Amino acid sequence: MQLELKPYSACKVLIVDDEPISRMLLTSILEPFVTCISAASGKEAIGQCVTHKPDLILLDMNMPDIDGLTVCRTLKDSADTAHIPVVFVTSTIDVETENMCWEVGASDFVLKPVTASTLVHRIKNHLQGKLRTELLKKMTFHDQLTGLYNRMYLSNEIPLLVKQVARDHSTVGVIMIDIDFFKLYNDNYGHLQGDICLQKVSELIAEHARRPKDAAIRFGGEEFMLVLPYTDLNGVKKIAEDIVAAIRSESITHYAGKGGMLSLSAGYAVRSAVELQDTGVSSLIESADIFLFEAKESGRNRAIG
C-alpha cells in the first residue's frame, strides 16, 4: 500500500470565476505548481466537482447564476465533496461577509487584486493539510498488506453508508469470501508466498468493487468481505460467482486444492438498508457467514446465498 503524499503537480485545483480574465490570471499563477481546471459559473463548478474531484477549489464570491456562498454550502452538504477545501476570492470583505464564509465551510479567503506569492503559499498549505488528512485516513482505514479497507472502516464508515442507502429505500449486499485450505498453503509454500497470495486475491476482489461506494474489506487473515450497496440478490449472486470463477482462472498452484489449484468459497446475503438500521450490519454479515460455512461444507470452490 502506497503511503506517500502525492506531489503538488498531481493535485487538481478548480478555479471558479465568471470573468475569463480572472480565470486566466489565477491559472497562470498556479499552473507551474498544480493542475488547473476551471468553471465559469456556480452550476458548472458543482458539475466539475463531481466529474473531476478537485483537491481544492478557488471560488469567486460573486457570480451571476449561483453566488459563491451558496456553491460552497452545496458542496459542504454533500458527502462526496464536503472534504474539498474551498478558498474564496473576493475584491472586498467585511466582518459580516467574512463570518458568512466561515459559516458555509470555507477554509480561507484571498483578496483581489491577488498577490501571486501569497496565493501560491496559501494553496500549497491547504493542499498539504488535505493530503496529510487523506494519508492519515488511508493508514487508519486500510489494511497495510493488501491495501483493502480494514475492520476499522467496517465499524466506522459502513454504518454511515447504510444510512444513506436507507434514505433511498434500497438494499445492501454482503459477500463473505475465504481462501480454501489457506493454512496448508502457508505451511507448504511459506509465509512470504502466502502474503503474495493474499495480495493477488485482494487485487482480484477489489476489481469487482467497481462502483465508488462498493467496499472491499480484509475481514481477517484469509477472509475477505465485499459490501455492495444498491444491489439486489441476483446482482450479488453474480459478483460472488464471478469472483470464485476468476480466482480459478488464475491457476494459482496449491497442492492441497482441488485439481492442485487455489480456490475460494463465498457466502452472500442481501437485506433492506432500513432493516439494517435497526438490526445493525452485523446481522447481514452473520447471514453471509452462514452461507460461507455451507459453501465450505458442500465442497468449497463455490458461492452460496
Which whole number is the average pLDDT over 45-51?
90
pLDDT of residue 97: 84
Catalytic center residues: 222
Distance, C-alpha 93 to centroid of its chain:
36
The domain 8-139: what is its CATH number?
A: 3.40.50.2300
Q: Residue 14, class by beta-carbon neighbours within 10 Å (0-12 exposed, 13-18 middle, 19+ buried)? A: buried
pTM score of the predicted model: 0.70
Whether 26 and 19 have beta carbons less than 8 Å apart is answered as: no
What is the structure's pLDDT at 98?
85
173-223: per-residue pLDDT in tens? 999 999 999 999 999 999 999 999 999 999 999 999 988 899 999 999 999
CA distance linking residue 46 with residue 271, whole number of Å? 33
Are residues 139 and 1 in contact, defined by beta-carbon separation less than 8 angstroms?
no
- Helices marked H in the chain: 20-30, 42-52, 68-76, 95-103, 116-141, 151-156, 158-167, 182-189, 191-207, 233-249, 273-279, 281-297
CATH match for 151-304 among 3.40.50.880, 1.10.260.40, 3.30.70.580, 3.30.70.270: 3.30.70.270
Closest CA to 74 of 116, 51, 45, 96: 45
Contact 72, 104 (CB under 8 A): yes
Report pLDDT for 295.
Answer: 95
Q: How many CB atoms lie within 10 A of CB 240?
A: 31
| Partners of 228 in beta bridges | 173
Domain ranges of the chain: 8-139, 151-304
- Dihedral sign from CA coordinates of 237, 271, 206, 192: negative
The percentage of the chain sitting over the pLDDT mark of 70, rounded to a whole number, equals 99
Residue-wise pLDDT for 110-157, tens only, equals: 988 899 999 999 999 999 999 988 888 778 889 989 999 999 999 988
Mean pLDDT of 47-53: 90
